[in-house]
Structure 1
């Protein structure tokens, strides 16, 4: 399992920036994702995937150890659906090249 620190190290190396800067950039990126999801409930990143937030209502449950009824507070559940170029990149090849190709294809379709 990869960690946040490993992600920062790989980003710093790939972008040729200091690890400290890479950590700041990652933090900003994650904060922006949270802000967008809080406002609109959805974020689509073509070629990468889509995040979707949905409200979970308060619900009743049972503690399996004590068998007592408990109430779970309402919350937010966030899901992520990877885009096709991202999934194909997992199977081999460059995700960046595939994402750029997908974006160029969509841009070309819009002009027609």
Structure 2
């Protein structure tokens, strides 16, 4: 697993920034993606992929312990679709 701190450390080394500066930039990027998603906007990062909000309608499910039917509330999920370059890197 790679963490935000590890990403920031790599960026700091590549861009000659302090680790604190790089971490602030990484956290800012993540906040901007989350804020766009909260507003319902899609975030497209060319060469990397798209973050898009998907709405899931309310549905019926079953409690696995009792078998009783329950309602599962509608929710929003953040989907990521990788760009072709990322897909090719994974499968190449």
Report the TM range for the smaller structure's normalisation: 0.7 to 0.9
| 2:4–2:26 CA contact under 8 A, matched in 1 | no
Q: CA-atom RMSD, angstroms?
A: 2.2
CA distance in structure 2 between the partners assigned to 1:37 and 1:66 by the alignment: 36
Structure 2: 5+ residue stretches without partners:
none
1:84 matched residue in structure 2: 84
| 1:41–1:54 CA contact under 8 A, matched in 2 | no
* Count of residue pairs the alignment pairs up: 92
| 2:43–2:51 CA contact under 8 A, matched in 1 | yes
1:32, CA displacement in angstroms? 0.8
**Shift >4 Å, 4+ stretches:** 89-92
| 2:9–2:19 CA contact under 8 A, matched in 1 | yes
Structure 1: 5+ residue stretches without partners:
93-112
1:76, CA displacement in angstroms? 1.0
| 1:12–1:19 CA contact under 8 A, matched in 2 | yes
Structure having the higher helix fraction is: 1
